[in-house]
Structure 1
């Protein structure tokens, strides 16, 4: 026996017998006629009896006696062994099994371009190079059809050019006979394509083609051949695209017209009974259909139109499937798949050969149902190749509806010509099942403690009934999704919130499992209001063994794998178990103003009340702080113990304080919070705190937002002080003489310095301050002060309307900084951030000689006084000595006379008072009187 097919599948029976004889002679095996006849009988039994385009049934091995499906794949640009032919194209035969993927070339035609002789001259009659042989491949029964649409034939001998007419080859009797059929060789075209690209359909019986074929002759037509006629003179030339349904080979019926020009409507056409009503439905692809995107620009996405057949040739437009990949060419290929999910309705594969990441291609699977085709794909298959200069074009060719591995489910073959590959996708067995989850009771009463876990009382025991395969039960599922959420319910056996079980279920059986859960102590969690969700999730065991075909089953995609039930905690909220609080909030503060530059200690006292009919669960005071404020702590209160947390979120600082869980009806809480407001800016006039009571109740859960505003005030304690140096001026100074042309400051008079100091003791800074200084320069038309020099310390900017030292006197003492000013205004700029700032201004002037006393004044509020005393000059004549002696004697005589008069009057004889004598008597000793 030998394995079929042989390495050269085009061998005829004579060649096969010859090869077998050679093999037997070399191996010294029997070569009698009986043995050869037995060999032919075995091979005859091995020949496959059915073939389908890319799926062809054959026998894998005569020794094994097993049947399998093989694949026939066209390669239109493949190089062949034909003489002097470039990229003639080929068709490959690929037997398939789990351990085999080798393909063999089917030699439909092994000849080069044929030569004809006309009048003794040889002419090339055809052109097979670049003919795209294998662009169309179809199979039926034991026959395979392969066509070359770009095959060229020379129609006239005197015209050297050739016309593209196309040709086809038939392989019959499992590669034992090949015949050619090219009916277009008789047509002389005036343009490229039948009837100016209107197209044409030619039909002929396979038997007649085989009967009329004779090697070496060009067959032009066969008996019974039919073809469509040319359209009428006025035919549609709008480029909208049309699809026609044909009742026979000649008459064209029911044109289906696209409404979008250039959409390539009709590029792909397929028929299948989508809704299982016994009538074939039509699908038409328009891969270049365009729609407007988000920016209102046209985008090429592609579209597929579904027409359900309601009666004989009565097509109803039912659904339009529009692609989502720009330039993806959605709808380039449409392939019926058969019933993939075993629901009784045929499914469909639609290609998007340039979609997906890097434009490698996509294939989308759509499922049918009683109403037609579902509008969302149940599966998307993408091409798994690295991006290259040429797209993979995954999905450019599709073929389905055949069970390749014979596991009872149709498979899919996808072609990707950009990477020279064809991929077989095998359908996995589908398991359809359902599950249920039962919980009782559905209301938990925390006051009824019916079971104990680890010597701690739990609130309730709950039982769960679960069927499934690989089962996972999760308690309090929403808390699992929250970061740091406390699971309020646990399983009694494991004291965990999750239970996993592997359950083995046979077809048609139902398996249940019962377990108990308990509620934790209410001190361990806060959320008593929301429901406890218990979820059941089941799936097939991913570690299960492969079946005999090497596949693991999957669940039907429509199976509901997640089931949820909920239980509630019994609340003190009446029969409906719904609490409706009435939350009110009042806020008071110890100040209404805050000062720039100060820490601004603030205490807010609030009163939170619940005047509703039910408790407020997880009630909290929510305080939003302004950016200028900080939280300091809780004001001491012996009646209420408040717990607060200070957090920041998106540059917003907020404070939350627990008010009770629950905050029962009739509750009234008084408490205080301490803050500081140190980061004030002069750009804002007010700062505001926002306070609100929040709870987790579904109804009336929040109170009104209570704002507390503080006015931003600038408060600065500014002190202006000054001193005169010297504090008193005597004029004229000693040895001073009047000079008609003064050169130095001493030539005018004594020097006086006034020093003014401006101090800001805060707390606020001063943004702009004006210091105005006025000094008397003359009195009654006579000069008083001569402004000589000014100096400042600090950021001062001074101006004056009077000339300083206009006589250009020489100054004896040079000061550091001089600003020319008098009767001036000094603008000081104080930084807001500084609490205290000090500035000084020194005024140096020379006093004129005309007045006796002068006061300088700084208004407001400081006065600096410099007294001026006039000194008289010394006399030229001295007092005589005798006058001085006479004056002294007269004075002495007058003093003696005064003393004598006082003596006579008894001024020097004064008597002792009465009290003195008595005091002396008390000083005598008392011993004698006591004896």
Structure 2
């Protein structure tokens, strides 16, 4: 019966869903089964003569009685279509209910076998085999045991005559492997007690030193910490177990999938083992069921060993993807003659599934996937892509490249991805001359590139060649090549194309198969390059101008991708080995090892760099300056003109960099003097490094004189200056007023005392004392303070004092402590006082008294913890003369307050009365004569006095003007 299985026409892959190499995701073919049938659960390719079919298992397809019996479909590619037919030629007595026919399908050398592991009421399992063009299938039930599930796994020998079936649930899940040469002859495996789910997967190949053997997995093995185990069996010696491989991680299901084929083309089959439940514990977030694949290479002795180089681990990246659920040999998909591997992760990428293609090589399987294909890259997206594969590799479109056929059972679909022909391009680059000599300038740069007259430059001829070949490739192709000059230093632009003045050249070149094409371009070196030591690498990258449509050629991604590289070296006078080994010797001397804080003087370092070896290219001097040292300049008179310095900044950081030679020739010396401005901080000293190096390295035993640790010590030197003054400067006492007890007879005074830091360094702290007299030597009071001392400027604290003192002492001591006083700053203290009458009245023979106030100060703290006790104490004094005089006083009786008040009121009234009388008598009015040339018939004899021109009724006359002039 022919199913209604439609060909899904060519679809375009979504760009984000797939990337990679030559399996054509843009033009896939897809065949679909009945919904829910698990179409694509298992796959095999069956060949007979020139015919080739795809066998597809659908274990949950319904039969005519609507029972889940399963089915086998036979599909064939016809032109651009895939047509499928349901296989019905099974024995008539086949038990159909829930048997899962098609759970496993294998075919080899003209023999096909399909199994139904749930056959029977107790799932004993059975298989069916057919040969040739599959006219009919014969029942094969080698072991009848309840819940055995024979046919869960199956394999055939290379000649197709030996059947291997697995029943992992036999013997209460111990598992059984059954081998036979037909339906009647079989040899059941003898089981060990520590096996569990034996024969979960089976594969056959030349695993015994080029002799055929069998590989079977044990799903969970207690002696391997339940990680899984794979055993190697000699199938020709009574199924004798030869060796085994054990998993690494508990529960990873090592051996869930198997593939046996020659990966590195050495003639010996290698083993690929899937572990889909491998968990990644190395990340901060544990990733469960990422999956892993283990690859074991067979040694020349027919052994499989662990560890590099005999073992390769491929790991999945996505949680739950189950990378390694299915593994399969694809044959040669990229035309290099070496077989490739497909790895399925059917639950990755959000459940759409992912297939990874790993290409083989002479050195073994490449550790990076050459192509990654996601199930959601197709339109419409599919699920569980990569659940099953066709093993062995098949070229269905007959273009000499094996294709990929993968199943997606959750979408009931099989996807066929044809392989595109691979173009292998070989390219090469050469230079003439092979070395470029900077002193030899044979070319000229056009004036447009320099902004002036042509400049002579060093140049060379770049020659590049391309040729291509490959199996089934077109006879003519177009390539897009890009040549990049000096790829390691693209911003430096040391090497440029002569015709474009750019470091990159792109052009399309047509090629004919197996015909070498060469072209030439002139390149030149810029005259102002700094790096004259390292070679300039030139790369040629090739891309293919692809033609649209299915099975169009694609460029190789490995050795035939058309990439080439070569070096253009700069000729150096370095002897026969062309390697310059310099010997730089640096001397650095400071003008002084100490610096006075606050002096604002500049500090210099003299540097001499001598090259006692071969030419030093890119020779530099570095001064790693601390923040307290600022670069000012270099001394032009002392520094060589060839030395160029770059101040600290974003590029150099805090380091001063000076170019001292490029190259600094052998036996030559470079000199420079660096001028710095120190800005001392809190540290007593700073250390910093001065060093020199070059682009071409020195020998290690000559580097000890390439650097020097320098140190600058900061010191403090300063002194204090004291001054004082009094307001008023002298005091006079009227004894007459004093004797009459006048309140103003005893004058007050104010005194100021100043402590100034005259530098140059700062003062951390200082003490000073002011001693002011209160009594005469005879013990009579002469003065007293009227208030506590006050700090009017600066920062200081003074101890409180008693405003009067003991007659026996006669003095008041005022003690003050300053805070930090910077250079040129000062502290000012104010004293307020007044004279006392006792001494003035009782010492009758003394007419002049002298008040002598003394101030002393000393430094108690200096920067950097220096001892200030060695600095001398400074002293100053303020003298105030008090003079007694006798002066007669007019003793007047005080006038009551109301008399001036009343007098003022009376005076105001008198003035007002006089003004009223005068106004009434007309004093404020005057007669004005009439003008000589009157314009009015009549006018008043008298008018108020008005300013000229204010009366609009009377115009100005000439007489008025004359009067004004005479008046003026």
Q: TM-score, normalised by structure 1?
A: 0.66
Residue number in structure 1 paired with 2:637: 637
Secondary structure of the residue aligned to 1:340 is coil
Residue number in structure 1 paired with 2:370: 379
User: Structure 1: how far apart are the matches of 2:247 and 2:259?
Assistant: 20
RMSD: 5.3
CA gap of 1:354–1:364, structure 2 versus 1, over 3 A, is farther
Residue 322 (structure 1) aligned to one of 278, 303, 313: 313
The range that moved more, 245-254 or 405-414, is 245-254
Give, in angstroms, the shift of residue 102 of structure 1: 7.7
Give, in angstroms, the shift of residue 195 of structure 1: 0.5
User: Structure 1: how far apart are the matches of 2:570 and 2:426?
Assistant: 29
Give, in angstroms, the shift of residue 409 of structure 1: 1.3
Secondary structure of the residue aligned to 1:464 is strand
User: Structure 2: how far apart are the matches of 1:309 and 1:278?
Assistant: 11
User: Structure 2: how far apart are the matches of 1:761 and 1:529?
Assistant: 57
**Once the two structures are superposed, what CA deviation does each residue of 1:322-342 show, in whole Å capped at 9, x if it has no partner?**
233366645432211223344
Secondary structure of the residue aligned to 1:468 is strand
Secondary structure of the residue aligned to 2:173 is coil
CA contact (8 A) 2:41 2:408 kept: no
Residue 253 (structure 2) aligned to one of 264, 268, 271: 264
CA gap of 1:554–1:769, structure 2 versus 1, over 3 A, is same
**Once the two structures are superposed, what CA deviation does each residue of 1:741-786 show, in whole Å capped at 9, x if it has no partner?**
xxxx969965443222344566655444444434445567665654
**Once the two structures are superposed, what CA deviation does each residue of 1:467-492 show, in whole Å capped at 9, x if it has no partner?**
435485747x33x432531334645x
Aligned length: 749
Residue 516 (structure 2) aligned to one of 506, 511, 514: 511
CA contact (8 A) 1:431 1:556 kept: no
Unaligned stretches of 5+ residues in structure 2: 7-39, 150-166, 196-220, 447-453, 469-478, 844-848, 858-873, 889-968
User: Structure 2: how far apart are the matches of 1:768 and 1:714?
Assistant: 13
**Once the two structures are superposed, what CA deviation does each residue of 1:330-373 show, in whole Å capped at 9, x if it has no partner?**
5432211223344444333334556789996452414153x7x3
Residue number in structure 1 paired with 2:104: 136
2:777 is the counterpart of 1:788: no
Matches within 5 A, 1:38-117: 54=43, 56=45, 71-74=54-57, 80=62, 95-96=76-77, 99-100=80-81
Residue number in structure 1 paired with 2:421: 429
**Once the two structures are superposed, what CA deviation does each residue of 1:823-861 show, in whole Å capped at 9, x if it has no partner?**
3443433486xx654443222234443484431211133
Secondary structure of the residue aligned to 2:649 is strand
CA contact (8 A) 1:244 1:254 kept: yes
Residue number in structure 1 paired with 2:750: 753
Matches within 5 A, 1:218-367: 224=184, 226=186, 228=188, 231=191, 237-238=222-223, 239=226, 240-245=228-233, 247=235, 251-254=239-242, 256-258=244-246, 260=248, 261-274=250-263, 280-288=269-277, 293=282, 302-306=292-296, 308=298, 319-325=310-316, 329-352=322-345, 361=354, 363-367=356-360
Greater relative contact order (Cα < 8 A, sep 6+): 2
Residue 863 (structure 1) aligned to one of 876, 893, 902: 876
CA gap of 1:636–1:316, structure 2 versus 1, over 3 A, is closer
**Once the two structures are superposed, what CA deviation does each residue of 1:221-268 show, in whole Å capped at 9, x if it has no partner?**
xxx163625635676753353435252697453352516454423322
User: Structure 1: how far apart are the matches of 2:141 and 2:348?
Assistant: 37
**Once the two structures are superposed, what CA deviation does each residue of 1:5-59 show, in whole Å capped at 9, x if it has no partner?**
944699xxxxxxxxxxxxxxxxxxxxxxxxxxxxxxxxxxxxxxxx996355799
2:146 is the counterpart of 1:187: yes
User: Structure 1: how far apart are the matches of 2:382 and 2:726?
Assistant: 96
Matches within 5 A, 1:599-748: 600=600, 602=602, 604=604, 606-612=606-612, 614-637=614-637, 640-641=640-641, 643-649=644-650, 652-678=653-679, 680-681=680-681, 683-687=682-686, 690-699=689-698, 704-706=706-708, 708-714=710-716, 718-729=720-731, 734-736=736-738
Matches within 5 A, 1:447-466: 457-459=456-458, 461-462=460-461, 464=463, 466=465
User: Structure 2: how far apart are the matches of 1:723 and 1:342?
Assistant: 107
CA gap of 1:506–1:736, structure 2 versus 1, over 3 A, is same
Unaligned stretches of 5+ residues in structure 1: 11-50, 60-65, 115-125, 155-162, 209-223, 740-744, 808-820, 876-931
User: Structure 1: how far apart are the matches of 2:57 and 2:187?
Assistant: 26
Secondary structure of the residue aligned to 1:844 is strand
User: Structure 1: how far apart are the matches of 2:147 and 2:384?
Assistant: 36
Give, in angstroms, the shift of residue 567 of structure 1: 4.2
Give, in angstroms, the shift of residue 398 of structure 1: 2.8
User: Structure 1: how far apart are the matches of 2:148 and 2:533?
Assistant: 84
CA gap of 1:772–1:704, structure 2 versus 1, over 3 A, is farther
Give, in angstroms, the shift of residue 136 of structure 1: 2.5
CA contact (8 A) 1:241 1:257 kept: yes
**Once the two structures are superposed, what CA deviation does each residue of 1:540-564 show, in whole Å capped at 9, x if it has no partner?**
x5214368x5231332623474433
Q: TM-score, normalised by structure 2?
A: 0.64
User: Structure 1: how far apart are the matches of 2:5 and 2:181?
Assistant: 25
CA gap of 1:93–1:561, structure 2 versus 1, over 3 A, is same
CA contact (8 A) 2:297 2:304 kept: yes
Residue number in structure 2 paired with 1:47: none
Secondary structure of the residue aligned to 2:655 is strand
Residue number in structure 1 paired with 2:175: 199
Give, in angstroms, the shift of residue 789 of structure 1: 1.1
CA gap of 1:712–1:468, structure 2 versus 1, over 3 A, is farther
CA contact (8 A) 1:337 1:346 kept: yes
Secondary structure of the residue aligned to 1:196 is helix
**Once the two structures are superposed, what CA deviation does each residue of 1:871-929 show, in whole Å capped at 9, x if it has no partner?**
49899xxxxxxxxxxxxxxxxxxxxxxxxxxxxxxxxxxxxxxxxxxxxxxxxxxxxxx
CA gap of 1:647–1:100, structure 2 versus 1, over 3 A, is farther
Secondary structure of the residue aligned to 1:323 is strand
**Once the two structures are superposed, what CA deviation does each residue of 1:400-430 show, in whole Å capped at 9, x if it has no partner?**
4111322111122334556665443332323
Secondary structure of the residue aligned to 1:859 is strand
CA gap of 1:194–1:581, structure 2 versus 1, over 3 A, is closer
CA contact (8 A) 1:57 1:67 kept: no
**Once the two structures are superposed, what CA deviation does each residue of 1:176-225 show, in whole Å capped at 9, x if it has no partner?**
8677766776637899931021112346778x6xxxxxxxxxxxxxxx16
CA contact (8 A) 2:293 2:315 kept: no
